[in-house]
Amino acid sequence: MSDQTFLSLFPGRSSAAPDHILLRLRPGADPERVAAELRGLISDKTLRIRSYAAAAQEDLSYQQTQRPTGVIFGFGVLIGVLVGIVIVYQVLSTDVADHMREYATFKAMGYGHRFFLGIVFEEALILGLLGFVPGALIGGGLLTLMGRITTLPLAVTPGMVLSVLAGTLVFSILSGAIATRRLAGADPADLF
């Protein structure tokens, strides 16, 4: 919006008053410490004194939790996680059902439930990794493309990649744990 529209919406603001004051610190100075000292020196509590990093984090948090696009994106992530869990569960559950005779044979030979969990968890991890690699490549490519089109500073960071990988593996294992419930009650005598 223009400055005139802004001032008409917020009549308490003056066009002569600054909105932001940026301070350049000496090299090696701690921005958080300087901000804390300034808060102690300035008595006007309506001023928000913060470092650039704190302001950026506050804006990011606002965009993710208060703005409609952030909330919609959050719901999209939640739906994606649920769909991923269901798909991996369906694949693993079908595989368990298809190999029930083999599992029953192993159970009759004395293998315990931990052995079956290990097999299904291994399959779950393989499925998770096989889904993660193309998903990360396609997602990173789309984010880079969106950054070029919109000129917004969008990038995939190593932290993002590691958190998505960790989430993928955790939810794959969760799906595997759910899929192995059928094996716990399987009786080898019933299957032959």
Read off the pLDDT of residues 126-178 as tens digits, 9 standing for 90 and up: 999 999 999 999 989 998 998 899 887 788 889 989 999 999 999 999 998 88
Do the beta carbons of residue 3 and residue 17 sit within 8 Å? Answer: no
56 and 113, same domain (yes or no): no
Cα 111 versus chain centre, distance: 37
Q: Is residue 190 part of a domain?
A: no
pLDDT of 192 over the 90 cut = no
* Domain region containing 150: 68-185
How many residues are present in the chain?
A: 192
88 and 61, same domain (yes or no): no
- When pLDDT is averaged across residues 44-60 and rounded to a whole number, the result is 84
The number of folded domains in the chain is 2
Predicted TM-score (pTM) of this structure: 0.67
55 and 91, same domain (yes or no): no
Closest CA to 123 of 160, 162, 95, 150: 95
51 and 85, same domain (yes or no): no
Tell the burial category of 180 from Cβ atoms under 10 Å away from its Cβ (0-12, 13-18, 19+): buried
Runs of H (alpha helix) within 45-187: 52-65, 68-98, 100-108, 113-150, 158-179, 181-184
59 and 109, same domain (yes or no): no
51 and 128, same domain (yes or no): no
- d(CA 163, CA 133) in angstroms, rounded, equals 14
Q: Is residue 162 part of a domain?
A: yes
97-108 pLDDT tens trace: 888 888 888 888
Q: Is residue 4 part of a domain?
A: no
In order, the DSSP letters of 155-192 are ---HHHHHHHHHHHHHHHHHHHHHHTHHHHT--HHHH-
Mean pLDDT score of the chain, rounded to an integer? Answer: 85
Q: Is residue 12 part of a domain?
A: no
Q: Is residue 54 part of a domain?
A: yes
34 and 76, same domain (yes or no): no
109 and 153, same domain (yes or no): yes
44 and 79, same domain (yes or no): no
Most confident of 14-18, 107-111, 121-125, 177-181: 121-125
